Structures are given as structure tokens and as C-alpha cells.
Amino acid sequence: DFLSALDEVHPAFGVNDEELQQCVQNQIIQFANNVERILSDGQLFIEQVRKSSRTPLVSVLLHGPPGSGKTALAATMAMSSEFPFIKLISPESMVGYAEVSKISMINKVFNDSYKSPLSVIVIDNIERILDWVPIGPRFSNSILQTLLVLLKKRPPKDRRLLILATTNEKSVLDDMNMSDCFNSEIYVPNITELSSVDIVLKELALFNDEERNRALNALKQGGVELRIGIKKILTIIEMSRQDVDKVEKFVGTILNMAPHKVETN
């Protein structure tokens, strides 16, 4: 599978590996079927780029609620391609840059990619790269226009490029006519099953078996509709680890953040 394949990746040049690794600091836990399916979809796009000369550009948008794992999954796909050029465009690497600097930085990554026969570019958190804020709304139109063009610009002859982008604000991208620029979309959902929580808890080793069962039972009794990102669960687990009553803290925090309770029998 792709996760074990990942372990053996030794990218040649043009790969900022450390940055990408940091996006997957807490690994990819296989807590549900869709995790496997998303990664295998990613593998298909990688193959299409590798093989079809008629579609030298493939672009994919990973979207979903905050903290559902989009960045970690996109970074994992990118690294698994083993393409000679793999780069991350992220808001973190452009903090405090002026608009023009951001644009020329983005532009440079694309131009560099055109020199490699096979490339992957991860564009993380597009709405943040665009300086989007719903009040107004305000955003950088110059950066938007740059991305609108680059997302559709064909690489030169004999060059192939895979673009993996992530966003929490799919509807904003729709309003900007940006969604149309992608060839495909992948939805990354929240965790909604107790079985997924069980797998995560085992992996993180917060509880012993008795505590874990107690926690899961308490969540079941709580009668809330589970809808929580993997990132949030990981944080709650670490907070609970400091507490005297870990089970109580873990269950209590999750039940408190649930938006609305459902009837249970």
C-alpha cells in the first residue's frame, strides 16, 4: 500500500521533503475505508500524469471541513509519487510577504516544475494563500488571477505536472470560478463513526483497553452525532493525557463540542 511505499521514498532533487514531512507529523492512521480510497484515487492521478501524453496537466482539489486531514493526505500523495520535482506552496512559507512577492514565489515554483519531466505541486489552503476573509469579502485578486491561469496552463512539450490543492472553503472557490479550473475533486470527510475513534485511540495509546471501552461506551450513551476532524481528536487526546481523569476529560470535551444531540434507544 501507499503508506509503506512512502517509507522508501528517496526523492532526487527539487523536493522540499522536510516541509512535506511536517504536514504528516502525526502520520496517516487508517481509521476508515475512505482514507484508503482517497489515497488510491491519488495513485490513479499520479499514473495518468506519468503515462498519458495527451493530458500533461492533471489538477485535483481536496476539500472538506477544517482539520479533516486534507493537508496530510495531499502531502502523502505527493511524496508517494516519487517524481523528481515535488514542491509545497503554503501560506506558512509566505507569512508577511507582499502580494507581488507571493505571486513571483508561486510563479517560480511553476516555472521550476516545467524543467522536470514529472512534477507535483501541492497548493495548501488556497483561501489563505488568497488572503481571503468573509468580511467584505476581501481577498487578493492578483494572486487569484495568477492561480486561475497557472492551474490551466499546459506545461511545455514533454513535461507533465500534477497539481494537488487543498481548501476548507470550496464554496468560496466556486464563487471565484476557481473550482472549474480543476480536472477533479476529492472530498475529505470528518470522522463520523465510533469505530474510527476506536482505531485512533488504539494508535495513540492514550488509554488501556478498559479505559478505551469505557470512553467509547460513554460516547455512545452521550447520544450525540459524531462529526469531528482527525486533527481535533488528536488535540483532545493530548489535552486529556495531562488530566487526572483522562477518560472523563476526553469524553466530556467531545460531548461538549457536539453541535446537536440525537435521539438514542
Q: Decide: helix, strand or coil at residue 189.
A: coil
Question: Taking CB positions, which residue lies at the least distance from ligand ATP?
Answer: 69
DSSP state of 155: P
What is the C-alpha to C-alpha distance for residues 181 and 150, in angstroms, rounded to an integer? 9
Query: Can you give the length of the chain in residues?
Result: 265
Report CA Rg, the chain: 20
At its nearest, how many Å lie between its own copies and the CB of residue 30? 18
Q: Considering the complex, what minimum distance in angstroms separates the CB of residue 162 from ligand ATP? A: 18
The residue from 78, 176, 188, 254 that contacts its own copies (CB under 8 A) is: 176
Q: Give the per-residue contact string, 40-79, with Mg ion (x = CB under 5 A; - = no).
A: -------------------------------x--------
Nearer to ligand ATP by Cβ, of 35 and 173: the residue is 35
In the bound complex, what is the minimum distance in angstroms from residue 104's beta carbon to its own copies?
A: 6
Number of residues counted as binding its own copies (CB under 8 A): 53
* 254 touches its own copies by CB under 8 A: no
In angstroms, what is the minimal distance from the CB of 199 to Mg ion?
21
d(C-alpha 86, C-alpha 161), whole Å:
10
- SS3 (DSSP) at 143: helix
Q: Based on CB atoms, which residue is closest to ligand ATP, 71 or 146?
A: 71
Q: If binding is defined by CB under 8 A, does position 150 make contact with its own copies?
A: yes
User: Which helix (H) or strand (E) is 57 found in, with range?
Assistant: strand 57-63
**Residues with Cβ < 8 Å from 154, sequence gap 6 or more?**
56, 57
CB of 120 to its own copies, least distance (A): 17
> What is the smallest separation between the CB atom of 57 and ligand ATP, expressed in angstroms?
11
Indicate whether 134 belongs to the interface with its own copies (CB under 8 A): yes
Nearer to its own copies, 257 or 262 (CB): 257
DSSP secondary-structure letter at 26? T
Alpha-helical regions (H) of the chain: 2-7, 17-22, 33-51, 70-80, 99-113, 126-129, 141-150, 170-175, 194-204, 209-222, 230-242, 246-257
Q: Distance between CA atoms of 152 and 145, rounded to whole angstroms?
A: 11
Q: How far is CA 133 from CA 54, 137, 139, 141, 185, in A?
A: 38, 6, 7, 13, 23
Q: Identify residues 59-118 at the interface with its own copies (CB under 8 A).
A: 66, 91-92, 95-96, 98, 100, 103-104, 106-107
Binding site for its own copies (CB under 8 A): 22, 25-26, 44, 47-48, 51-52, 54-55, 66, 91-92, 95-96, 98, 100, 103-104, 106-107, 128, 131, 133-135, 137-139, 141-142, 144-146, 148-150, 153-154, 175-177, 180, 183, 204, 234-235, 237-239, 241-243
